[in-house]
């Protein structure tokens, strides 16, 4: 009998250790931007103990379960635009150490989201590094781009599921990158795209994670890999996520509950999204024109609100008149002109 009890105790102890070692996502902060208040945010996605600031104690300290900037830190982040902080902690009983990049919030406040970058007037390739650079140069609030997953699990930037006639998920990155973009660039990886976008502090990076027909686990994997890379590079302050695949957004939120996500498909009301923890909607212009009450509902819920893809002047004016905080367009220059001509339409 004693032997049986010992075996049972050992079994359940092993189960507890195993359960503690399995994390539900990534350690993260609730906020990565300094907006004039010393308190930045709390650690999320786990049970935390013994949190210590290491290596940057001149600029940060930990108090009341919050990361806080010192007076010197507040001065420094204003002059440098960003500071790095390293935290040691126990998460769910396991020791971890992680670095976070905290940005001075200087992102542009206009409504202009460049669709696949700004590429038409420059006559360059959409979803290219040049298109991203042009969106930054124009001063767009955000630049949207599309992420696919190759056969060897590389995350690359391309709109369609095929690149130069090759199904992206059936080829390795090296096999795809043999063909250049039409502007002469190498097919960009998500890593290269994020690193390029992180060289500035005005334009946010809108990451569209594309659906897959390879099954739900493949979709979840591309969501996890994308969020893991964003965390590895410390790009959280720049990035928000959008997708037509609802399960991908739910996986993103599981990995990082503080992530800003927006649904694209247009078949769920703002209230339905909010129930699932999806705090943003980014629907085709026709959806909002048919469901104008959703605009009011989303604003009442304080949700992220975007619309795609608005290119003609009439519709641009419509969404400016409805005070949309974000408007995704292939014509960022035209939208800037309309905003300038009608200051009351801007935020």
**Average of per-residue pLDDT across 27-56:** 97
**Does residue 150 carry a pLDDT above 80?**
yes
User: What is the pLDDT averaged over residues 107-111?
Assistant: 98
Tokens representing residue 114 in the block: 């460049």
| Span 291-315, pLDDT tens digits | 999 999 999 999 999 999 999 999 9
Instruction: Render pLDDT for 258-303 as a digit per residue (tens, 0 to 9).
Output: 999 999 999 999 999 999 999 999 999 999 999 999 999 999 999 9
- pLDDT value, residue 346: 53
On the question of pLDDT at 22 being above 90, the answer is: no
Name all contacts of 245-248 with Cβ < 8 Å and 24+ positions apart.
245/209, 245/210, 245/211, 245/212, 245/219, 246/276, 246/278, 247/216, 247/219, 247/220, 248/209, 248/211, 248/219, 248/220, 248/222, 248/223
* pLDDT attached to residue 342: 82
pTM of the model: 0.92
How many Å apart are CA 116 and CA 133, to the nearest integer? 11
Residue 40, both tokens: 């930045």
Q: Domains for the chain: give ranges and CATH numbers.
A: 22-104 (2.60.40), 112-345 (3.20.20.190)
pLDDT, one tens digit per residue, over 82-101 is 999 999 999 999 999 999 99
* Unique residue bearing structure tokens 């220059």: 333
């Amino acid at each position: 009998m004693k032997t049986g009890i010992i075996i049972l105790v050992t079994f359940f102890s092993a189960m507890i250790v195993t359960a503690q070692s399995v994390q539900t996502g990534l350690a993260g902060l609730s906020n990565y931007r300094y907006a004039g208040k010393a308190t930045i945010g709390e650690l999320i996605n786990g049970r935390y103990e013994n949190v210590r600031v290491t290596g940057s104690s001149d600029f940060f300290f930990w108090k009341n379960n919050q990361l806080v900037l010192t007076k010197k830190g507040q001065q420094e982040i204003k002059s440098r635009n960003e500071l790095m902080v390293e935290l040691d902690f126990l998460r769910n009983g396991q020791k971890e150490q992680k670095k976070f990049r905290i940005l001075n919030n200087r992102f542009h406040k206009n409504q202009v989201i460049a669709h696949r970058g700004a590429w038409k007037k420059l006559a360059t390739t959409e979803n290219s590094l040049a298109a991203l650079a042009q969106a930054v140069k124009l001063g767009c609030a955000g630049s949207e781009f599309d992420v696919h997953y190759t056969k060897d699990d590389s995350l690359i930037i391309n709109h369609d599921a095929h690149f130069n006639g090759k199904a992206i998920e059936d080829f390795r990155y090296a096999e795809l990158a043999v063909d250049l973009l039409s502007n002469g660039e190498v097919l960009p990886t998500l890593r290269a795209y994020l690193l390029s976008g992180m060289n500035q502090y005005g334009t946010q990076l809108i990451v569209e994670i594309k659906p897959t027909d390879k099954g739900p686990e493949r979709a979840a994997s591309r969501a996890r890999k994308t969020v893991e890379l964003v965390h590895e590079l410390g790009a959280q302050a720049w990035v928000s996520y959008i997708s037509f695949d609802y399960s991908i957004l739910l996986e993103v939120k599981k990995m990082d509950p503080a992530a800003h996500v927006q649904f694209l498909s247009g078949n769920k009301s703002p209230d339905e999204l909010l129930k699932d923890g999806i705090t943003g909607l980014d629907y085709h212009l026709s959806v909002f024109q048919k469901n104008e009450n959703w605009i009011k509902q989303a604003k009442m819920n304080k949700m992220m609100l975007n619309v795609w893809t608005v290119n003609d002047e009439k519709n641009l004016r419509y969404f400016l008149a409805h005070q949309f905080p974000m408007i995704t367009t292939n014509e960022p220059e035209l939208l800037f002109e309309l905003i300038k001509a009608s200051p009351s339409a801007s935020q």
